[in-house]
Amino acid sequence: MNYLEPSGIIADRAALQIPRAIALAAAVADYGLPYVEFVECRQHVDGDDLAETVVFDVEVERPQQTANDIRKKERISVTFLPSDNWYPEVLALRDNFPRVSHTNVREKEFPRSLCLYDQPWEQIAIRWTAASVVERIRFWLAETAKGTLHQDDQPLEPMLLGNGYRIVLPFDFFDGESNETFEELKVSFATNEKDCRLLRAEKGQGAGGLPFLALSFVAEAQMHGAIRHAPKNLKELDEFLKPAGVPIVELLYKKLEDWNKKELLDKKILLVVAFPLTRNGEETIESSDLWVFLTTRSVGDVGVAIGLWDKLAEHSYGRPILRDPKSDGQAIGLSILSPLFHLSAETAAISSGLTSDLRPSIAIGAGALGSQVLRLLAQSGFGAWCVVDKDVLLPHNVARHALDNRWIGFPKALPVAIELRSFYDRDGDLKWIDADLLRPDDKKQQLDKELAEAELVLDLAASIPVSRHLTYDVQSNGRRIAAFLNPRGTDLVLLVEDTARTIGLDFLEMQYYRAICQTAELENHLSPPDGRLRYARSCRDVSSTIPNYAVAMHAAIAAKAIRDAVQGANAEIRIWTSDPESLEVRHLRVAVSSSKRSRLGEWTLVVDDQLTARIAKLRLAKLPHETGGVLIGSYDLARKIVYVVDTIPSPPDSEEWPTLYIRGMKGLKFQVDKVQEMTGGQIEYVGEWHSHPAGCPCLPSDDDLKVFSWLTENMDVAGLPALMGIAGDHGYTEWYLGQMLRSGGWRAGT
């Protein structure tokens, strides 16, 4: 076999100075490493450094039938630099060593440079030993001989070696097909830095930069393999592409025939070439290797260089009588760039391991939590957003907001909407409304339109009036979801309507309050914060002091939970509680119960199945005696709605007989006050209930009518309706609101 001679002069091992070179020479010469034989050491000047090379023969473990021409013995050289800031260069010195994958492209084709590692040198250097590099070389040669060095889960090798320059193209510029029509792009450097290696290509009237006429071509499928040098001019590109079915010079010759126009001749050409790649020559296309080539000269010059035109005068070209066969494009230099594409909603979602979902959505509230939730959702390809908020950004907001102080004084909705759209390179309406949802004034028509068109209405306002307005007063089929923090910012709450909207936000809110009352770890959930920040003089100019990292953490949870919620059809109540010190988070999922409503006179009564079932269970437990208790719930006086949330069972001093029930009072005030405190004053006493014996109807007795009359007198003082429930057989409760008729009330049961 013939071997190429390594660079430098032969040196004695004792003359070596670089520690890694000394270690490798000793390992192959003295330490008896198997399957290797020391040949020599060399030294040569590399720039200002003295490089040192260790040469040795390697015995290769290979099969009888090899996939690549790897011999039983291969001669290898390993060259080290004193700086030790890059991989040692490993060369296969056989003069006809095959072109295979996982070789580095060098200025000269031989000797071949082996690519041993797929990790950064800084990481390899920490654990590098002479024995390990020898074993790595033997592994590389053995696997290459078998054709299995490139693993099935590894990305395919690129066709060409780039130069480190990249270009960002519009996300929709290339669709995987050859484009027969040029598109004008303006190309410029991404920054003004002297060593900037990133260019941007933009389309549209407002784009800046040098004008290029862009064409795209798709080559025939290629099997991946050794990386090649990039073509330096149009002739070399033609020679490279012809075997792949893209005779680029002839294609440009035909294309440029229609480009002899003054407005096109001075522009340059941008070529996108896609190489569909297969792994082992099979038909399946596994990936596509894209490259961009920029001509260094104009369309007019390209036409002359390929024999299409003769230059007659400045900006004037004519067709020659005969085409010069020497006009092969060699005079047209090329710059090669690796293309990137601007982010789209689809690629943003893919980058997050998600699926894009651009459903029309409207967000009410762009405060600290809202702005960060929206940013995370939009950045991961979720939602086509309209942002609604009447407030302007104030200095203290910036501490927790997604916006910075450049936007102080602007309506929050505008810059948040700008930020959401700025993630993607796409046109579209910038949708924002600086209005109060409850009093939109001249923005009402615009707001009504956006709400009507929305498939998702996201309530981030943390306002009960806003939530009720979205539930009752907005004409929109969009599913409502509400997300908010508790007053101390330690917990996140998510309320999700079902897709049919049979369980509205108000029903979910009431069941959320019930969960607070019934769950020990939520006892302090709605407690007020320890401190409040006063940012101006008005009594209303007060803000909660919540750490920004807590807002960011809950925003991330909310963004994922919202994405998850819209994939399902059911209503949900979810609560995440966190430890303010450790930030440990615990998730609670509250069972959602179907709610029922009935119009009773001028008032509407709302109960749910869980409440009805609990009353029925309490009745059964006390039979044959009667029992009862206090009803707790909430009022919406603006809409004349009474929500019954739960019951405080019969106090211990109550009198319970087979045909009589007299509710006691022991501990009752404490329990009602406790409920009010735990729910931030949202849940209070709303009425009474008692049971009737088995076999008796739920119609009121004379005593019931007297009690209801007394109840009415007491509730009238507060401007509230009297409420009484009578529980009977089969899980039914008869409800009487505002008036009690002997004929019966509204029957609801499980």
Q: What is the 3-state secondary structure (H, E, C) of 402-435?
A: CCCHHHCCCECHHHHHHHHHHCCCCCCCCEEECC
Reading across the β-sheet that carries 479-485, which strands appear in turn?
431-433, 382-388, 357-364, 456-459, 479-485, 491-496, 572-578, 585-590
Q: What tokens does 499 get?
A: 């897709």
Tens of pLDDT along 685-713? 999 999 999 999 999 999 999 999 999 99
Q: Which of 209, 66, 192, 231 is nearest to 141 (CA)?
A: 66
- The residue type found at 635 is Y
Report DSSP letters for 710-747, one per residue: HHHHHHHHTT---EEEEE-GGGEEEEEES---TT--EE
Orientation of helix 505-518 relative to helix 464-472, angle to 10°: 140
Q: Which of 568, 559, 569 is nearest to 383 (CA)?
A: 559
Beta strands in 63-197 (DSSP E): 73-80, 89-92, 103-104, 112-114, 166-169, 179-189
Tens of pLDDT along 271-281? 998 887 776 66
Distance separating alpha carbons of residues 212 and 187, to the nearest angstrom: 7
Distance separating alpha carbons of residues 251 and 219, to the nearest angstrom: 13
For residue 562, give the 3-state DSSP assignment.
Answer: helix
* Range 145-151 contact pairs with CB under 8 angstroms and sequence separation of 24 or more: 145/60, 145/62, 145/63, 145/66, 145/67, 145/68, 145/70, 146/62, 146/63, 146/66, 146/67, 147/66, 147/67, 147/68, 147/280, 148/67, 149/100, 149/101, 149/102, 150/101, 150/102, 150/224, 150/279
What distances in angstroms separate CA 308 from CA 162, 181, 260, 326, 673, one per listed residue? 30, 19, 10, 12, 93
Instruction: Quote the pTM value.
Output: 0.83
* H helical segments located in 535-684: 548-567, 609-622, 668-678
H-helix or E-strand spanning residue 271: strand 268-278
Q: What tokens does 676 get?
A: 């009010």
pLDDT of 429 > 90? The answer is no
The answer to whether 626 touches 656, Cβ cutoff 8 Å, is yes
Distance separating alpha carbons of residues 680 and 520, to the nearest angstrom: 16
Q: Which of 216, 312, 314, 302 is nearest to 259 (CA)?
A: 302
Mean pLDDT of the chain: 89
Cα 119 → chain centroid: 27
In sequence order, what are the beta bridge partners of 36?
58
pLDDT of 493 > 50? The answer is yes
In sequence order, what are the beta bridge partners of 11?
41
pLDDT of 297 > 80? The answer is yes
pLDDT band at 394 (very low <50, low <70, confident <90, very high): very high
Listed in sequence order, the residues at least 6 apart from 520 whose beta carbon sits closer than 8 Å to its beta carbon are none
In sequence order, what are the beta bridge partners of 37?
57
Tens of pLDDT along 73-122? 999 999 999 999 999 999 999 999 998 888 887 777 889 989 898 889 99
Q: What is the pLDDT of residue 158?
A: 67
Q: What tokens does 293 get?
A: 């080539």
pLDDT band at 489 (very low <50, low <70, confident <90, very high): very high
The answer to whether 365 touches 371, Cβ cutoff 8 Å, is no
Distance separating alpha carbons of residues 158 and 150, to the nearest angstrom: 13
The answer to whether 274 touches 216, Cβ cutoff 8 Å, is yes
The answer to whether 705 touches 699, Cβ cutoff 8 Å, is no
pLDDT band at 542 (very low <50, low <70, confident <90, very high): very low
Stretch 337-348: mean pLDDT, rounded? 88
pLDDT of 26 > 70? The answer is yes
Distance separating alpha carbons of residues 83 and 90, to the nearest angstrom: 17
C-alpha dihedral sign at 80, 81, 82, 84: negative
Distance separating alpha carbons of residues 318 and 20, to the nearest angstrom: 64
Q: Which of 210, 195, 202 is nearest to 165 (CA)?
A: 195
Stretch 54-82: mean pLDDT, rounded? 92
Q: What is the pLDDT of residue 540?
A: 40
Q: Phi and psi of 376, rounded to 5°?
A: -65, -40
For residue 627, give the 3-state DSSP assignment.
Answer: coil
- The residue type found at 112 is R
Length of the chain: 750
Distance separating alpha carbons of residues 560 and 612, to the nearest angstrom: 34
Stretch 35-62: mean pLDDT, rounded? 92
Distance separating alpha carbons of residues 186 and 203, to the nearest angstrom: 6
pLDDT of 150 > 70? The answer is no
The answer to whether 393 touches 370, Cβ cutoff 8 Å, is no
pLDDT band at 205 (very low <50, low <70, confident <90, very high): low
Residue 218 CB: number of other CB atoms within 10 A?
Answer: 20
Q: Which of 294, 315, 318, 316 is nearest to 307 (CA)?
A: 318
Percent of the chain clearing pLDDT 90 (strictly above): 63
Query: Which range among 168-177, 203-212, 291-300, 309-318 shows the weakest confidence by mean pLDDT?
Result: 309-318
Q: Which of 338, 290, 346, 288 is nearest to 171 (CA)?
A: 346
167-181, 285-299, 435-449 — which one is most confidently predicted on average? 435-449
Beta strands in 650-694 (DSSP E): 655-657, 660-662, 684-691
Q: Which of 292, 355, 303, 351 is nearest to 327 (CA)?
A: 303
Q: What is the pLDDT of residue 539?
A: 38
- Rg over alpha carbons for the chain, rounded to the nearest Å, is 39
User: Which residue do the tokens 């294609």 mark?
Assistant: 251
295-304, 341-350, 389-398 — which one is most confidently predicted on average? 389-398
Q: Which of 586, 398, 365, 564 is nearest to 490 (CA)?
A: 586
Query: Which range among 34-48, 70-84, 253-267, 612-626 shows the weakest confidence by mean pLDDT?
Result: 253-267
C-alpha dihedral sign at 313, 318, 324, 329: positive
Distance separating alpha carbons of residues 198 and 216, to the nearest angstrom: 20
pLDDT of 396 > 50? The answer is yes
- The residue type found at 1 is M
